[in-house]
Chain A
Amino acid sequence: MRRKTKYFSLLLAAAVFISLLAACSSNTGNNEGNNSTAPTTNEENGGQATTSGDEATKDPYEITLAMPVFGSIPKDIEVVQAEINKISQAKINATVKILPISIGAWQQQMNLMMSGGEKLDLAFTFGQSYPSQVAMGQIEPIDELLSAYGEGIKQAIGTEYLKSAEVSGKHYGVPTLHDYAGQSGIIMRKDLLDKYKINIDSIKTLDDLDSVFKTIKENEPGMAPLAIGTGGPLDSYVTYDRLGDRFGVLPGFDNGLKIENYYESTEYADLLNRMHQWFKAGYINKDAATTQIPEIDMVKEDKAFSYFARNKPGYVSEQERGIGKEMVFVNLLPEAYSATSDVMVGMWTISQNSENQQRAMMFLNLMYTDKDIANLMLWGVEGKHYMKVTETSIDLPETTVDYATQSWLMANPFLTYTHVDTEPDVWTKMKAFNEEAVKSKALGFSFNAEPVKNEITALNNVVQQYRKILETGTIDPTKRLPEFIAKLKAAGIDKVIVEKQKQLDAWAAAKQ
């Protein structure tokens, strides 16, 4: 008996040992394989970039396309994929394999795929991680590919906006089409405006809001006249180009390209004082600085009356759908402004792991130009995932739909059908809106924070410490604002501004 147990334990040990070895060896095998293929394909691509279209599409190729998924992974993604492939096969002799990645795992998964050398051709990239992905070499410059195969992309976005994606004179990705501008203002509940006979034409500036808030405060107990949730009024009320991180901004979206420290401006001090007045008067919810509840939910739950926002075509109806009440938007600044950060919300990029970058670019071009592919990617298959109502609008079936995604992830939503609940001409309006918006003088400039990354890290922490409590009006700025400014200086904001000005000047010089 004793002997038996002894052998058994030995056997067990051996089994564990072998399985461990097997696991490890298969891993290393994979890595080696990938590492060895990556550099050679890069070379190939470089050489082929100039060859003609016919030759480039000679061999079939499968494009791996990664995009984030909010909520559960759609069941029918393969059905949609098969439909897309029918089109892409005929047009560019390529099929596409959609790789849906849950948003919670997105960042990590992408990093792993990039560093592990896994096959990846096209990927969605968030505007905020775009510069660091460029800096780390995870995505490829695409200027040559863009001129060879991306004519449709250029036309759809327009050169001026397309230039926003440039980093040191090179494109590493193309922005998705969406609203490239915003007009600062406040969105309010229509039923209460009517109830208290508030004339919205009388609201032109921030000063005019005092009496509105006062009326609401006095007559609607338990309701905050102004909601501050995860955002903040000063995030939406912007009179300047933030130039990425707000450490050094361009006042008035122009200022002769002279960068200034917004936190030191009198405008900022005045705004903070106003917020503090409002907070003291009880116009702002008390937990503004710490709450994790979005403004829209506070209004929905009758806890609040209004919130600051940046308007664009379709925005109000979108908010109304979320809240379930009629809303009214009032502009507080005269124009809609567009800055680089407005354009670079999301991008489509070609990964450095791509084994056939031309084909990736060709498919990307289709995403911006082919109406059928755009609709398939956004809405799914007609008759299965949506029904057409008119020529340009659709409705979703009553039953659960096994395919869903977000329109702002789409390369070119302007090509797609609109939902029956939205304004039918929202895309036309948005195109016009983008064209009419006042473009910041620094539109297209992106700050490369790499040379001052130590300062940025320290500044991020200072901002984290002060910005929210000051901008929600929670704390009296008379003492805390000078403290904030002093800490920013100590953390090196001046050095960042000097660096940013240097880069901006160089950018402006190169532009001419």
Chain B
Amino acid sequence: MEQATSAAVPLDVLKGKKRKNKYRKYWPLMTMMIPGLLYLLFNNYLPMAGIVIAFKDVNFAKGILQSDWTGFDNFEYLFKTSDAYIITRNTILYNVVFLVLGTVLSLACAILLNEIKNKLLLKAYQSLITLPHLISMVIVSYLVYAFLSPEVGFMNKTILPWLGIEDEVLWYFESKYWPVILTLVHFWKGIGFSSIVFFAALLGIDEEYYEAARLDGASRWKQIRHITLPIITPIIILMTLLSVGRIFYSDFGLFYQVPLNSGALFETTATIDTYVFNGLMGSGDLGMSAAAGLYQSIVGFILVVLANYSVRLYSKDNALF
């Protein structure tokens, strides 16, 4: 996709014969683009035809196309109960927190990493904070369990007594703690990886800006505010726009595995994905799960367009499209 845009932009400004020449000049590049485009076509666009499943009562004997149409029946369960409110609220709130706090934290992380001048230490820190990203959620859930287990957990046995709290907390039955726990786990796992993009952008900033600023007597903080941040604002916007599209999706591993799918935590850990999974695990209804997926992507799509639109209002150059 990036190849596509970089090749297309200069073409826009050219006209007539010159454009033809440019085509000739760039044709190897254009040819190279074809595999990428085909991949997109076959992997991302063709399967979109599967959207019809969301509106059908799938019957394999009849085949997908011949199955009966059901209108919006498959979507009904997503909105029907009082749970609909809880799962939508949880999904959105967690994602907003992850988005806002995530940007701030990973940016801070990247800036801090950028300030470390010792190469060896830098590599060590970077590896350490990226490591959790490589651990499977199932294993993470057991690491969390080691902390929160009611009988032998580190929290109940060591940390709480240190703090002078005698009562054991049944972590897996008290829903009020989980927004904090899940946020902590999410950032512990993901922050190292998400700061890489920002860190890479920081590395690209010319050292001369900072030199000049230092000569003018700018403090570290001022350098960050007036040089670093403005330069990487486009990256921040880009990353935000990309994650806005996934605001209706939740990290299934985080919300299902880490709370051990404990029913008592439903209030604060149920998201659209876990709700669909718990509801349809038995029946495996294709239409209904497709409906959930379609609902999530349509809301995501609308949000991306809206977010992009508001970015355009503020600064045209930074918008995605």
Contacts and interface: CB of A to CB of B under 8 A. Distances in A.
A16 interface: yes
Interface stretch (B28-36, B111-119, B206-214, B233-241): B28-36
B32 A137 contact: no
B149 A287 contact: yes
A77 interface: no
Given A16-B35, A457-B280, A460-B279, A468 B263 contact: yes
A356 interface: no
Contacts of B260: 290, 292
A390 B309 CA distance: 81
B81 A490 contact: yes
A422 to B, nearest CB: 32
Contacts of A135: 59
B50 to A, nearest CB: 11
B153 to A, nearest CB: 10
A501 B280 CA distance: 23
Contacts of B28: 6, 9-10, 13
Interface stretch (B91-99, B179-187, B281-289): B281-289
B149 A457 contact: no
B167 to A, nearest CB: 14
Contact of B263 (A14, A137, A292, A469): A469
A458 B279 contact: yes
A456 B32 CA distance: 51
A240 interface: no
A137 B62 contact: yes
A73 interface: no
A132 B278 contact: no
A17 B38 contact: yes
Interface in B75-91: 76-77, 80-83
Contacts of B266: 461, 464-465
B124 to A, nearest CB: 35
A137 B31 contact: no
Interface string B41-85: 010000000000000001111111000000001001100111100
Nearest to A468: B263
Contacts of B151: 285-287
B261 interface: yes
A17 B41 CA distance: 13
B107 to A, nearest CB: 36
Size bracket of the B interface = 35 or more
Interface in B257-313: 260-264, 266, 270, 275, 278-286, 288
Contact of B173 (A24, A129, A474): A474
A343 B89 CA distance: 42
Interface in B162-186: 170, 172-173
B284 A129 contact: yes
A122 B275 CA distance: 34
Given A136-B59, A469-B263, A449 B283 contact: yes
Contacts of A14: 31
Nearest to B263: A465
Interface in A422-472: 449, 453-454, 456-458, 460-462, 464-469
Nearest to A456: B283
B145 to A, nearest CB: 8
Contacts of A128: 282
Contact of B60 (A136, A469, A475): A136
A352 B60 contact: yes
Given A9-B28, A454-B76, A289 B172 contact: yes
A492 B261 CA distance: 23
B314 interface: no
Nearest to B73: A454
B221 interface: no
Interface string A134-161: 0111100000000000000000000000
B80 A461 contact: no
Interface string A403-439: 0000000000000000000000000000000000000
B150 interface: yes
A454 B77 CA distance: 5
A137 B279 contact: no
Nearest to B262: A290
Contact of A458 (B38, B83, B173, B282): B83
B39 interface: yes
Interface string B98-137: 0000000000000000000000000000000000000000
A45 interface: no
A461 B39 contact: no
Nearest to B171: A290
Interface in A283-316: 285-287, 289-290, 292
List 4 A-B pairs, minimum CB-CB distance, nearest first.
Answer: A137-B61, A457-B279, A454-B77, A465-B263
Given A107-B284, A129-B284, A454-B77, 5 more contacts: A17-B34, A17-B35, A20-B38, A137-B60, A454-B80
7 contacts: A10-B31, A128-B282, A138-B61, A289-B172, A456-B282, A465-B266, A490-B81
